[in-house]
Structure 1
Amino acid sequence: MPVPAVLLDTYKQTAFYRMDIEVQLDVSCEKCIEYRINNTGPTYNFTVPGQTTPWRFAFWSCNGWSLSVSDKEKALLGGDNVVWDDLLEKHRQVPFHVQFCGGDQLYSDKIWKADVWSSWLKIKDKFVRRDAPFTREMAAVADDFYFTHYAKCFFTSKFGESMTTIPISTIIDDHDVWDGIGSYPDYLQFSQVFVQLKEYAFKYWRLYQAHTNQQMARNHGYFGKAGYSWVKQLGPYTVALGPDTRYERSIKQIIEPETYDMIFDRLRRLPQSVRHLVVFLGVPIVYPRLTYIEKALSGIKSMGLTKIGFIAKQRAIVNIWGEPELSDDMNDHWTSEVHMEERKKFVLRLQEFARRHHVRVTFVGGDVHCCGAGRFASMNPSLPPERDFRFMPQIISSAIMNIPPPNLVIRAVHSSAKTYELDNSTDELMYKLFEKDVNGKSPPNNNAKLLARRNFSSYVEDLNSQAMIVNIHVQNENNKGTKAYLINVPALAKDTNYV
């Protein structure tokens, strides 16, 4: 049956079309839907669940390489596709109904390698740089870069293959735009160049990833004061929430207050059948504190060390904008000191939603190039998770392609993975999920809370227990296949605690 196409945009000789496909679900069995483009070429397929069968979905993040990764390092990990091959093989065996892409679907940091930015980067005065115009030449470079970079990354990769057979839903993180976007000082973040360049990055995120454009996005389910958050229902029992944590971000704020209100207005209107809310965030909201690194970077800046010529030249400490190299990474985290109050308010509002609606909230995030699991929970050891509305697991699944951090970094982060208090009623911690590494041995330095290996994760509804069955699939040492680590996320009982 032909499906009408809606023209979204054009670039040179290329046109972007959107086709909305509606499928009637069978009552008690899945079915495979076959399709072709323009009634020519190969036949593709995807699988939809039945009305009374469980949903299955995958999650991954960081589908690319940082600029600093060498070809030798890539080869030692088995190249681009070890984890992708495993995900696609598992899909062939038992199909996923959707894949959630957790940010950094591609790495766009090369945008700053273009010569067009050199004169702007040479401007010494911060305020002159802030007010310098975004030129037509810059616009042409931006348009061409994002269009071409997306085409190369999406149409010549295993990710591209996966999109032909597993429907996608994406959130955006910094590298989809460029490294650290939103976490820079105001003179950069609100400079003419940053503001206009960000618009080109989001233009192509909308076209390639969200299948919409600026004019139609609100009609296609995206919302926010300015950004592109979404809420999507997976059958009667599970809902996915994808807040946009980049478009509205500044160094002091991740999401606008008005957007939070829009999120919770939509959550309040969900049907009573919903038992699980899965919140996809680019950066994990439960993660070890990095405050000691933040303080060190703050000291570097306050002492003026970023202005030392030989350091700036070597870029050992500063980035191309003259800011501490890791400061944007620290500010990216929900656990950064500047974001802690916003984080607390968000979690407490989710607690109230869980309490009122008897819905289990689970966070899923990537970004950090390692995997693990943690949780928020009531500070009552005798209260089982099934009856605790404050119990909110965090799944960390990253990266499907990019290089893991060195063991020294994991050891430093692991040492700060303590039990913290969110408020007088809630604490948070990381689980010791990795008592054994994929090789059956103890993990390096006995760091059982975070594992520095490439991975993706899978999620299956258990309709008998109403739990969500989660597995983190971690790349094996021989670069062939993965080992699964199980996390069971129980549903929230109707007779939950109210204190």
Structure 2
Amino acid sequence: MNQEQWLDEWDTASLYQKEVEGCDNCDESSPISQDGVVCGPLLRLKGVDYDNDIYRGSLLLVVKGTNPPAVKFAAGHSTSNEIDIEIRQLNSTLIHEEKDFSFFRYDFDLSLRDFEQMIKYSVGDVTKPHYRFYIPSKDMNFNTISYSCNGFSLSVDTTKFKGSMWFDILKKHSNVHYHVMLGGGDQIYSDSVKLYCHKFKKWLETKDPIAKFKAKLTSEMKEDLNAFYLKEYIEWYGYGYWKGATPQSKTTQRCFPLATATVPSINIYDDHDIIDGFGSYSNSFQSNDVFSGVGKAAYKYYMLFQHHVSLTEKKAYSEDPSWILGAKKGPYIGEKSHSVLTRLGPTWALLGLDCRTERQLRQIVDWKTYDIIFDRLAKEVEKGKLDHLMVMLGVPIAYPRLVWLEWLFSSRLLAPLKYLSKKGVFARGLVNEFNGDVEVLDDLNDHWCARHHKKERNYLVAKLQDFGAKYGIRITILSGDVHLAAVGRFRSKLHSHHITSSHEHEVQKFLDEPEKDTRLMFNVISSAVVNTPPPNAMAALLQKRSGIHHFDSETDEDVVPLFHEDVDGHSRKNFSFMNRRNWSDLLPIANVLAQDYLQQEFQLSVGERYFPGIITSSKSEKATKKENSSDQQDVSYPATAKGMLATIHVEQNTLNADSESVAYSVVIPELSVVKDKLSHKGIKHLNL
């Protein structure tokens, strides 16, 4: 690769329009039958070492055959006066072999420089326009994407979706230069294992409950499960192809594999990466040898494709410095949880919490694992000041309670209906084919606010608040799962019944100066990037349940009124929940101010206050527009030099192949004060 080849411009509009022409017209051709590379390149960010200014990553290729393709990197930077590039060939490591396929990982360490670098690469003799990625300068925090629910549910009519949110991501990437994308769970929808893994399907259809419960995972069934997940991953990550339960349930999302080749990923996983609801059924059912075997098979390929490591690799699987390993092996998958902790810039960090490997009906993460995690976080702070910690959780933690639905669906009053449903006499589809519970009960049991998890949920929120306050770190939680967009919020409580008290004055000051509110945490909920959104009735139900709740005597929680205006400009009644497909990005305000494209798009000014909403240059929700608002949930936030701009990009029209979106933003200030210990008096379900 010469200097001219490295310098060529990326004409994204024409490139991707050509690549994705008819991107959602399903093409059933699969790369699994071809020779050579059948999946990849897939880029992964392993971690960043700011003690030595080293960026650590890997590139994965799945090859039909045994010969590793040559991979060459050209790292460089251009100015008006000169081009500075360095070319080198990466070494390959064979990490897994199965059937005719070889998994080759190419590890790389790159030196951070005083400027942003563009890394272009070739695979074999092939160089494609999207074979490039960006790493920030050593004093620059990362431009970050967050997404979830990257696939369709089994019976969705995919013909109703002509656009692609991945197309929207890639178009914006050419201007913004995203440095990492965070997969918040359900990066692949593997629920069709119950349809196309025939030996597992036969077990599910077993009528005798005793025989079903006592069934063992045979070697043939294990091989069948492995073959399913291998094929599913190669087709989805290699080509974007997926099929569900009906002739209308299939898609080819060609932009997704392009994105994985041009923006490095960090992922956690959730139930659909395994099978719907895994971890949230009864212990007696989950302990079944066959069903736990599904979890073991899915976990194997999750680690291979999403983390580029084999379970047999001691160093990569157990000793990488970015892992936080759980205290003990999970009960069903039989492996230790693998949470991720890495810097995303000199003053930003990410904790990706593994909430699935240890999950049981009454537990999400083991209590001893929490101790390990918070000890590790404290050690991370010792390495240097953090302004912002992003905590990635698969399921929202600041979200309306639906306990009454849990009670209803688990009530004995439904037993006759459940029996008739299982027999196919009445309400076919009311119960699942696993353990006969109501179909949506596992989704409710998954939630942090479910009755089984309230104690653990409140413990984690309080621990995060205490950690942030002690070290002066603003914490933002990233979640998905629920197929709509929202922003949950914890903040200091406004004691309106003590109007004249000094404490009231102090809390009001926190609301006026949120950069000093040690209890302020946002939960950015971005879901789904591919899957279909819920109906308007669900958004309306959530809106009614989204009033102010009292977390403890000093902390309120609510949902930010972000969506007063719809994508077409009309006002919305369900202003806290947007049931359209979406994805989000999290940008350092310093980067927004420094880059011409972002500065023109948002026109932020340090010190200016902004209400959550549309704050792009075309329609700005500046504080001056709502100075007289009496709604306590309408709170403006100042753009600060070390702050963050969190934006949810919402699809305008599912039938539009241009895939345009509308940006809804929240300005998140850094935390400018420290407080050694917060009071959690009055916290529910837990004594701290």
TM norm. shorter chain > 0.5: yes
- Determine whether 1:192 maps to 2:289: yes
Moved more, 123-132 or 413-422: 123-132
SS at match of 1:466: coil
Distance (whole Å) between structure 1 residues aligned to residue 480 and residue 531 of structure 2: 11
Distance (whole Å) between structure 1 residues aligned to residue 135 and residue 429 of structure 2: 50
Q: TM-score, normalised by structure 1?
A: 0.94
Equivalent position of 1:141 in the other structure:
224
Distance (whole Å) between structure 2 residues aligned to residue 54 and residue 344 of structure 1: 30
Mapping of residues 317-356 of structure 1, within 5 Å: 317-321=430-434, 322-356=436-470
Equivalent position of 1:181 in the other structure:
278
Distance (whole Å) between structure 2 residues aligned to residue 289 and residue 148 of structure 1: 38
Task: Describe the superposition over 1:226-260 as per-residue Cα deviations: whole angstroms up to 9, x where unpaired.
Answer: 21211111121110111111111000001111221
Distance (whole Å) between structure 1 residues aligned to residue 339 and residue 676 of structure 2: 31
SS at match of 1:75: helix
Quickly say closer, same or farther: Cα 1:8–1:303, change in 2 above 3 A.
Answer: same
Quickly say closer, same or farther: Cα 1:190–1:53, change in 2 above 3 A.
Answer: same
Query: 8 Å contact 2:149–2:531 — kept in the other structure?
Result: yes
Q: Percent identity?
A: 35
- Determine whether 1:150 maps to 2:233: yes
Query: 8 Å contact 1:104–1:172 — kept in the other structure?
Result: yes
- Determine whether 1:252 maps to 2:362: yes
- Determine whether 1:219 maps to 2:219: no
Equivalent position of 1:411 in the other structure:
540
Query: 8 Å contact 1:301–1:324 — kept in the other structure?
Result: no
Distance (whole Å) between structure 1 residues aligned to residue 531 and residue 230 of structure 2: 22
Q: How many positions carry a matched residue from both structures?
A: 491
Query: 8 Å contact 1:311–1:317 — kept in the other structure?
Result: no
Distance (whole Å) between structure 1 residues aligned to residue 361 and residue 298 of structure 2: 19
Task: Describe the superposition over 1:426-445 as per-residue Cα deviations: whole angstroms up to 9, x where unpaired.
Answer: 221001100000100022xx
SS at match of 1:434: coil
Quickly say closer, same or farther: Cα 1:310–1:457, change in 2 above 3 A.
Answer: closer
Letter in 1 for 2:161: L
Distance (whole Å) between structure 2 residues aligned to residue 219 and residue 38 of structure 1: 31
Letter in 1 for 2:226: D
Distance (whole Å) between structure 1 residues aligned to residue 413 and residue 304 of structure 2: 38
Note the residue ranges of structure 1 that are not aligned, 5 or more in a row: none
Distance (whole Å) between structure 1 residues aligned to residue 128 and residue 429 of structure 2: 50
Moved more, 471-480 or 179-188: 471-480
SS at match of 1:494: coil
Letter in 1 for 2:285: L
Equivalent position of 1:116 in the other structure:
199
Equivalent position of 1:210 in the other structure:
307
Query: 8 Å contact 1:378–1:388 — kept in the other structure?
Result: yes
Equivalent position of 1:450 in the other structure:
577
Moved more, 422-431 or 380-389: 380-389
SS at match of 1:324: coil
Equivalent position of 1:466 in the other structure:
642
Equivalent position of 1:130 in the other structure:
213
Distance (whole Å) between structure 1 residues aligned to residue 643 and residue 109 of structure 2: 28
Equivalent position of 2:182 in the other structure:
100
- Determine whether 1:241 maps to 2:241: no
Equivalent position of 1:425 in the other structure:
554
Q: Choose which of 375, 391, 395 in structure 2 pairs with 1:283.
A: 395
Distance (whole Å) between structure 2 residues aligned to residue 396 and residue 25 of structure 1: 31
SS at match of 1:361: strand
Distance (whole Å) between structure 2 residues aligned to residue 103 and residue 238 of structure 1: 21
Q: Choose which of 672, 675, 685 in structure 2 pairs with 1:493.
A: 672
Q: Which has the larger radius of gyration?
A: 2
Task: Describe the superposition over 1:44-101 as per-residue Cα deviations: whole angstroms up to 9, x where unpaired.
Answer: 111010112342011111111101212xxx333325x2x1111100001121000111
How much has 1:199 moved relative to structure 2? 0.7
How much has 1:497 moved relative to structure 2? 8.3
Letter in 2 for 1:224: G
Distance (whole Å) between structure 1 residues aligned to residue 349 and residue 120 of structure 2: 26
Equivalent position of 2:123 in the other structure:
37
Distance (whole Å) between structure 2 residues aligned to residue 147 and residue 434 of structure 1: 40
Note the residue ranges of structure 2 that are not aligned, 5 or more in a row: 1-87, 240-253, 328-335, 495-506, 591-639, 679-688
Query: 8 Å contact 1:389–1:497 — kept in the other structure?
Result: no
Quickly say closer, same or farther: Cα 1:138–1:495, change in 2 above 3 A.
Answer: closer
Query: 8 Å contact 2:466–2:677 — kept in the other structure?
Result: no
SS at match of 1:109: coil
Query: 8 Å contact 1:397–1:472 — kept in the other structure?
Result: yes
Distance (whole Å) between structure 1 residues aligned to residue 216 and residue 371 of structure 2: 35
How much has 1:311 moved relative to structure 2? 6.1
Letter in 1 for 2:229: Y
Quickly say closer, same or farther: Cα 1:118–1:397, change in 2 above 3 A.
Answer: closer
How much has 1:498 moved relative to structure 2? 5.2
Letter in 2 for 1:181: F
Quickly say closer, same or farther: Cα 1:301–1:143, change in 2 above 3 A.
Answer: farther
Letter in 2 for 1:414: Q
Query: 8 Å contact 1:312–1:318 — kept in the other structure?
Result: no
Task: Describe the superposition over 1:25-55 as per-residue Cα deviations: whole angstroms up to 9, x where unpaired.
Answer: 111x211011122454547111010112342
SS at match of 2:302: helix
Q: Choose which of 410, 415, 438 in structure 2 pairs with 1:298.
A: 410
Q: TM-score, normalised by structure 2?
A: 0.69
SS at match of 1:363: strand
Letter in 1 for 2:645: I
Equivalent position of 2:29 in the other structure:
none
SS at match of 2:319: helix
Letter in 2 for 1:374: G
Quickly say closer, same or farther: Cα 1:261–1:39, change in 2 above 3 A.
Answer: farther
Distance (whole Å) between structure 1 residues aligned to residue 485 and residue 544 of structure 2: 16
Distance (whole Å) between structure 2 residues aligned to residue 286 and residue 78 of structure 1: 32
Distance (whole Å) between structure 1 residues aligned to residue 571 and residue 399 of structure 2: 22
How much has 1:120 moved relative to structure 2? 2.6
Distance (whole Å) between structure 2 residues aligned to residue 199 and residue 9 of structure 1: 16
Root-mean-square deviation (CA), in Å? 1.9
How much has 1:117 moved relative to structure 2? 2.7
Letter in 2 for 1:77: F
